[in-house]
A = this chain, B = another copy of it.
């Protein structure tokens, strides 16, 4: 997280979050999405499910949280970009969110 190369990149990433799509989107080389929950209890429950998915895929997100907001960025460091593994991870997170958690 926070590995943006420049201030300009940093500002541009903020704009990525604006999309109304329910899907993680390519945001400057990472699959990115902000999820919004009613409160911290809902947000952290979601995070726990995502953590289990991450560990089972042995693929770990860059993510952050404050209260009801969870921001996820997925990329594959070894490949220096988005791979099939990131897309598979994103699909599972999207299904979790669609199940009514978000």
Q: A6-B7, A45-B48, A45-B49 are in contact. Are A40 and B54 (CB under 8 A)?
A: yes
Main SS of chain A's interface residues?
Answer: helix
- Verify if A63 is at the interface (C-beta below 8 Å from B): yes
Taken together, the copies of this chain in the complex come to 4
Report if A79 contacts B (CB, 8 A). no
Q: What is the minimal beta-carbon distance from A74 to any residue of chain B, in angstroms?
A: 11
Chain B residues contacting A45 (CB-CB under 8 Å) are 45-46, 48-49, 52, 96, 101
Q: Could you pull out 13 A-B pairs where Cβ atoms are within 8 angstroms? A: A40-B52, A41-B56, A41-B96, A42-B96, A45-B49, A47-B47, A56-B56, A61-B66, A63-B65, A63-B66, A64-B65, A99-B101, A101-B101
